[in-house]
Chain A
Amino acid sequence: MKKATPYLLLLPALLFTAFVLGYPLVQNLVNSVRDVSLVSGVGGWVGLSNYANVLDDPLFLSSLRNTLIYALVGTILALVIGLGFALLLNMKIGRITTIASFLYTIPWVISPVVAGFSWKWLLNDHFGIINYWLSSAELIDAGTSWLGDPQTVLACVIFARVWQFYPFAMVMFLAGLQAIPLEQYEAAAVDGATMFRRFFHITIPNLKPVFSVLLVLGVIWSFNDFNIVFVMTRGGPMNASMVLPVLVREFSFVFFDLGKGSALSVMTFMLLVTLSFLYLRIISGRESA
């Protein structure tokens, strides 16, 4: 009976996971080979034609491209900024760093909906403060529409995403920095290493594990991120900022084609599984090291 105890303890958690992970994933596969509509209900089996429909849709490739750019560029920028802030806060110049470490984390604490809304308003073509500043400095024409221009819209949502995600990287890097044994720096100082050399030969190598975890988590989370794009642009204008999670909702709940939406979400999931395996390899690599 003793042997059963850990399983009994895990049972509720496993039931929840089956409810939100197991069942939906299986059902999603079933949906994706059927004709399922939000309006006319469940129809017949259609084989792989939902998948073919997705692949034939030019929106798929452009959204995939946008999603990859959004996830990769956004994450890398957020990590660079997070690291910079962590280094700054790690200098510990008194009370001000404590207050700053609170203030710098705020973008991550509030809802992404508020983040998206704030940037949308900040970037407003006519009344936004950013356009006012830039046009006063004569860098741009007044009324430049950042979110209305297919050329600039993706950069804008990435910017908002970076702003919302960098604090997580900062907190992790800061913890990583504080875990570096001081002796390493002291020894280096005794040997006469410059600040520059100490940074590249002690700080960076010590932060490498944190960095790889953050990179993979960041890419996966951004890949899944629906909020910023939905609130700021809904994927527009002319789908120039469309990303896969928003497209799944569009297929399913705007065009009512649950079958096509399911096929797209199965494909998204496959991509994610590939990324997750990468993550696991990094994690288990660290455990055995």
Chain B
Amino acid sequence: MATGGDPRILRLVVNGDSRIGVAEPRMLLVDFIRHELGLTGTHAGCEHGVCGACNVRMNGSVVRSCLVFAVQADGAEIETVESLAGRDGSMHPLQVAFQEHHGLQCGFCTPGFLVAGLEVLRDNPDPTEAEIRQALSGNLCRCTGYVGIVKAIRQAAITMRS
């Protein structure tokens, strides 16, 4: 028999909106966000918590949404990459800096880096390059060699402080 168990109704706040969705107890949060809520900016890159492409902010902390069951997020506040730009489509200073410094190529890892990068800047508004590199070592990128990503976060730190 299908082994998912009875679906549960989940209520959560996603990017400031109240959302209701249905998930079997075994459904991963990343699949719930992508397929149930239709927010496909969050990506599944490795599904075992190494690559960081599925990073989202849950109740104020960055989590790997591939390592969290959707039911664990019942009642939670979630922020995904879609929350960064303004409602009018204007990009966040961190997004602007990524474009400015060629911090992305294929774009697949980018949402995870943006979510992690914002967290770096929340914790430390003026990080050194070494601190940025240490803080981002849990995210994989296969295109950029990280050069543009690190530069972009340094630039965003300056913009966001001013």
User: Are A and B part of the same complex?
Assistant: no
